[in-house]
Amino acid sequence: MNVATLLRAFCEAVESRNGEAFAKLFTEDGVYHDVFYGAFAGRAKIAAMIDDWFYRTATDFRWVMHDPVSDGTMLYARYTFSYRSTLPEAKGVRAMFEGVAIMTLSDGKIARYHEVANTAPAFVDLNFAPERIAKIVAKQGAALKARPEMQQHLG
């Protein structure tokens, strides 16, 4: 599967709430590290992440990958991601943020997925109190710094 096809299938599976199709893009022992929810290992857990976790408090997802770069074993792509929140304080607003997807590939499948994202604007869109935003962003930063495999990407 070429990079453009892989990324299109990736985004379409999320947008259509198709965890099974999404999980098939990963190796059997693949791991998806979500910026909000943490790590999901194996296809069953990755599928559940899409079908259950993502759609638990949101709907109407839009995910677009931009400017992918790959050497066949690593794939990087900027992305824009948005969804309509079902959280009470959000009042149905669409939240959006940007990030970078970092994927380790194996035999045309995703073995590991990581992301670095600026999620703060989405929390403002969702009408979260500033104290809540600061707490969430600090927690995400600490979790990112604690992952040894991310050190090469953080400088």
Instruction: Give the number of other Cβ atoms within 10 Å of residue 103's Cβ.
Output: 26
What is the per-residue pLDDT for 40? 96
Token pair, residue 76, equals 């990087």
Q: What is the mean pLDDT of the chain?
A: 88
Side-chain-side CA neighbours of 25 within 13 Å: the count stands at 27
Percentage of residues in the chain having pLDDT higher than 90: 63
What is the per-residue pLDDT for 137? 64
What is the per-residue pLDDT for 90? 82
Question: Position 106: which residue type?
Answer: S
CATH topology of domain 3-148: Nuclear Transport Factor 2; Chain: A, (3.10.450)
Fill in the DSSP letter of residue 42: S
What is the per-residue pLDDT for 143? 64
Among 17-21, 33-37, 120-124, 130-134, top mean pLDDT goes to 17-21
- CA dihedral angle for residue 111, residue 82, residue 67, residue 22, rounded to 10 degrees: 30
Average pLDDT over residues 78-92: 89
124: pLDDT confidence band, cut at 50, 70 and 90? confident
* Structural domain spans, the chain: 3-148
Average pLDDT over residues 69-82: 96
SS3 call for 50 = helix
Is the pLDDT at 46 greater than 60? The verdict is yes
